[in-house]
Chains A and B, each alone.
Chain A
Amino acid sequence: MRYLYYPGCSAEATGKAYDISTRAMMAKLDVELAELDDWNCCGATSYFSVRELESFAIAARNLAIAQQMGEDELCVICNACYTTLAKTNRYMADDPEVFKAVQGALGAVGRTYDGKVKVRHVMDILVNDIGLEAVAEKVTRRLTGIKVAPYYGCQFSRPMGTFDDPEFPTTMDRFFATLGADVIDYPSKVKCCGGMMMLTKAEGALHMCHELLKTAQDGGADVIVAACPLCEMNLEAYQPKVNKMYGTNFNIPVMYFTQLAGLALGVEPNKLAIDKQVVSCDRVIAAIPA
């Protein structure tokens, strides 16, 4: 199997570990990831706040490049990138004005896009294309006894709910159950982490992260896994700040789900960028049976 791959801007910086571990995990599953040529920022939430049609246009540039490369699917790892790119397709299909504007803008730089490249979240590919059975076969270190809190985040299945339920998704739960983990009941799993608000109004984001960490802890989680660089950053890097604000003493490892999955599939920890975490994951790694 082979997929065209869109890492996203965070993958080069704060979310580096997500990119590294995704590539390593996919390699173990015999899936080739070919990086999208000269990809640009998808625009995420910030761009929409400033300019609307431009947001669609710059997102569409990536899809136009994909189409030019002869591809009809694009694998995306970050929730925000996924929603932004998928939203672009949806709005181009539903609104002729958006379609016209985007095509016009792309035309001004010698590109074209018909709206037909499918945007696929990596979890969708894992569960629906590769299939849980195939994944199960490749597991070499079952995550037996590891209590995992699957944190989907808000833009995983909202607003479109294409491959999982917007209120109560289960793909990540099922994925980790396949890897042998003890997936806890994590009712906050689709709540927002605050995203960029951590920079613009930290108290709000810290409040939201507090709920996410608390419910994970109450559920007995050994580790929280995330599917978005911003989510991971907020829950992990800012955990000490949550503690400071709420007088708590959370010390929960937070990983990209691909890092933990990589371990289960036999990738060495040092190939999964686990050393880049701010909250140490040593305890979890040690707990995974050999």
Chain B
Amino acid sequence: MAEEKIAVYICHCGTNIAGKVDVEEVTRWAAEQPNVVVAREYKYMCSDPGQELIQKDIKENGVNRVVVAACSPTMHEPTFRKAAADAGLNPFLVQMANIREHCSWVTVDPDEATAKTKRILSAQIHRLPFNQALEPIEVNVNPDVLVVGGGIAGIEAALKLADAGKKVFLVEKDPSIGGHMAMFDKTFPTLDCSACILTPKMSALGKHPNVTLLAYSEVDEVSGYVGNFKVKVRRKARYVDTVKCTGCAACTEVCVVRKVKSEFDVGLGFRSAIYIPFPQAVPLRATIDATKCLTLSKGKCAKQPCVPACGPEAIDFTQQDEFIDLDVGAIIMATGFELWNPEQDQRYGYGRLENVISSLEFERLSNASGPTGGHIVCKNGEAPKSVAILHCIGSRDENHQEFCSRVCCMYSLKFAHLIKEHLPETEVYEFYIDMRTFGKGYEEFYKRLMDEGVNFVRGRAAEVTNVALSPEEQGHLVVKAEDTLLGMTRRVPVDMVILSAGLSPRKDAKEVAQTFGFGCSANGFYLERHPKLEPASTMTDGIFLAGACQYPKDIPDAVAQAGAAAAGALVFVNHETVKVEPTISYIDPEKCSGCHICVGLCPHAAIQYNAEKNVAEVIQAACKGCGVCVAACGSNVPQQSGYLDEQIFAEIEGALAV
């Protein structure tokens, strides 16, 4: 072993460290420590001159181990490691001693801080001789990408990747792509017809030579790691041969089961057991709902009129689910959201009182292709003379969802506009707490609505009731709220109440995240790698996020994030290989007894059991170096590079030596 020559650098970090710690004394002390050949102090080690100090000592003074006593490794470990590497020293022979976040920032007494600094430094000085030069591991990368979810975010991400020349698999669980955006009437603030701007993208996706669209399919299993994901997809049985089916919809006209509540119409309209969700569906193919079809659920449909009605003879009751295995290099999650169910807060009477509807239900009423042909009507078929739109239903509320769903203020304003457009004589009331109109053109949109004569009441609706306390209230719904700007409680009689419910994570979000191997935030949405700087990535290399599945957002933000996710994926799949950090676990097959304990404990599923050799093996690229297997093994077999037992014990001894 070459003689260790340690260089110690004490950073002042301006006054952050030097203001508390006696850096001169520490430098003097450090020079006397074992194996230390040079000890320097400098105002800002992370600056260019600071880094050059290190490089000079490596090149000219034979330094072969470096410790920088400064801030946290999360800040600058990569900086100093790169500086050393550029000067020809293996980066893993560089350690940081955190004397800022762990010392100068949290210790009150300067003498104590100086003493603690010495202990922290001593630990690293004792550790360094045991550091080994490590080389990063390179693994091959599969150039294909999987996009999960066919809403606007998934579609956008898939199109960008396909246009960049990548092969994309898009898996969508519903019979057609389009997601929630396909259900909307107009989009804010431009009031574009939602389907008109969406369907061209849906169509482009369906026809794109680089895209394999797997609609009515779900991901069952995911294994592997960045560059090498293995995905098992279940193609659910439509009971219709999608090659033969032309989407002519003749079968839907004759099916005997006609009164199934249509999911696309949020239960306001009906479909048949064999159905096409909406006319612009992509792929335009029929699907049979096996729970409602008489043949499939009860074994008896006397007439089976769909069969003769189908010219191409595409109906196939014997169809089974099909399984496909995909190999991809990156995955983009774009699974979207669910609307918060207002039944959960009974003071608004949703589900109990007639004409209290949710926001999605209103979109379908207003939409010309909806169940009422675009006529905004109450249950009795008559147009409402007054409508109340209630903001923050289920949102900003400790009892339900604490977070703000971001888009509801804007869509509530949009509704007000649509009502005024369809029914100019109708009074519209908006009950709000704050008006969150943050985007481009949004504040102007708000002004426009004020100008259109919408009545804005600043007060969260306390309740909706059908109790009439005066003749004006007879036969109406009454919204009770404090008008906080006026300082008085108001009872406003209306014909219809629209509940602007918040956006929720999908019920299966946690399960899905677990299947793919990434995490969720406390509020249930998928967890991004960094809330400000990496909103489109997850902590798992190679898996990205796009759209509302990461957090409620409007269409422009969903599209932007989808582009970011696509770019993130391209970073990996545009290369032939990817480098993986070498500070990973290694299991010596000579010592492993094959007891399995580590296999089940690994949180990244990075250890597999080799039955032939009866040993556990680490999948290098999947291992994240968390150390669980090292700690758990009763025989102390797994060793983590960069965190070997000798290194850790040396650190402990070093800390105690002062």
Q: List residues of chain A with CB under 8 Å of any chain B CB.
A: 165, 167-168, 187-188, 211, 214-215, 218
Assess whether A167 is in contact with B347, with CB atoms less than 8 Å apart: yes
16 contacting pairs across A/B (C-beta < 8 A): A165-B346, A167-B345, A167-B346, A167-B347, A168-B346, A168-B347, A168-B352, A187-B465, A187-B466, A187-B467, A188-B467, A211-B467, A211-B469, A214-B469, A215-B467, A218-B468
Tell me the nearest residue of chain B to A219, going by C-beta. Answer: B467
Which residues of B, 443-479, contact A by the 8 Å Cβ criterion?
465-469
Q: Which 4 A-B pairs have the closest CB atoms?
A: A168-B346, A167-B346, A167-B347, A187-B467
Q: A165–B345 Cα gap in the complex (Å)?
A: 10
Q: Which of chain A's residues have a CB closer than 8 A to the CB of B352? A: 168
- What is the CA–CA distance of A215 and B465 in the complex, to the nearest angstrom? 11
Do most interface residues of chain B lie in helix, strand or loop, or is the interface mixed? loop
From B466, which residue of chain A is reached at the shortest CB distance? Answer: A187
Residue on A with the closest CB to B352? A168
**What is the CA–CA distance of A214 and B467 in the complex, to the nearest angstrom?**
9
Judged by DSSP, the binding face of A is: loop
Contact with A along B325-364 (1 / 0, CB 8 A): 0000000000000000000011100001000000000000
Given A168-B347, A187-B466: 7 more A-B contacts, CB < 8 Å? A167-B347, A187-B467, A188-B467, A211-B467, A214-B469, A215-B467, A218-B468
Binding site for A on B (CB under 8 A): 345-347, 352, 465-469
Question: Would you give the shortest CB distance from B571 to chain A, in whole angstroms?
Answer: 50
Residue of A nearest to B468 (CB): A218
A214 CB contacts on chain B under 8 angstroms:
469
Q: How far is the CB of A287 from chain B (nearest CB, A)?
A: 26
Docked Cα-Cα span, A218 to B465, in Å, equals 14
- A167's nearest neighbour on chain B, judged by CB, is B346
Chain A residue contacts of B346, Cβ below 8 A: 165, 167-168
Q: Give CA–CA (A218, B469) in the complex, Å.
A: 11
Please, which residues of chain B bring their CB within 8 A of the CB of A165?
A: 346
Minimum C-beta distance from B198 to chain A (A): 38
Q: How far is the CB of B573 from chain A (nearest CB, A)?
A: 52
Q: Which residue, of A167, A211, A214, A218, has the highest number of chain B Cβ atoms within 10 A?
A: A167
B467: chain A residues within 8 A (beta carbon): 187-188, 211, 215
CA gap between A187 and B347 in the complex, in Å: 10
How many Å from the CB of A266 to the closest CB on chain B? 34
The distance in angstroms between the C-alpha atoms of A99 and B347, with both chains bound, is: 34
Query: Using Cβ atoms and an 8 Å threshold, which residues of chain A touch B468?
Result: 218
CB nearest neighbor in B for A191: B467
CB nearest neighbor in B for A188: B467
**C-alpha spacing A215/B467, complex, angstroms:** 7
Q: Which A residue's beta carbon lies closest to that of B345?
A: A167
Report B-chain residues with C-beta under 8 Å of the C-beta of A218.
Answer: 468
Give chain A nearest CB distance to B465 CB in angstroms: 6
Task: Name the residue of chain A whose CB is nearest to the CB of B353.
Answer: A187
How long is the Cα–Cα vector from A188 to B466 in the complex, in angstroms? 10
Query: In the complex, A218 Cα to B470 Cα: how many Å?
Result: 12
| A168 / chain B contacts, CB cutoff of 8 Å | 346-347, 352
A187 proximity list for chain B (CB < 8 A): 465-467
> Which residues of chain B come closer than 8 Å to A167, judged between CB atoms?
345-347
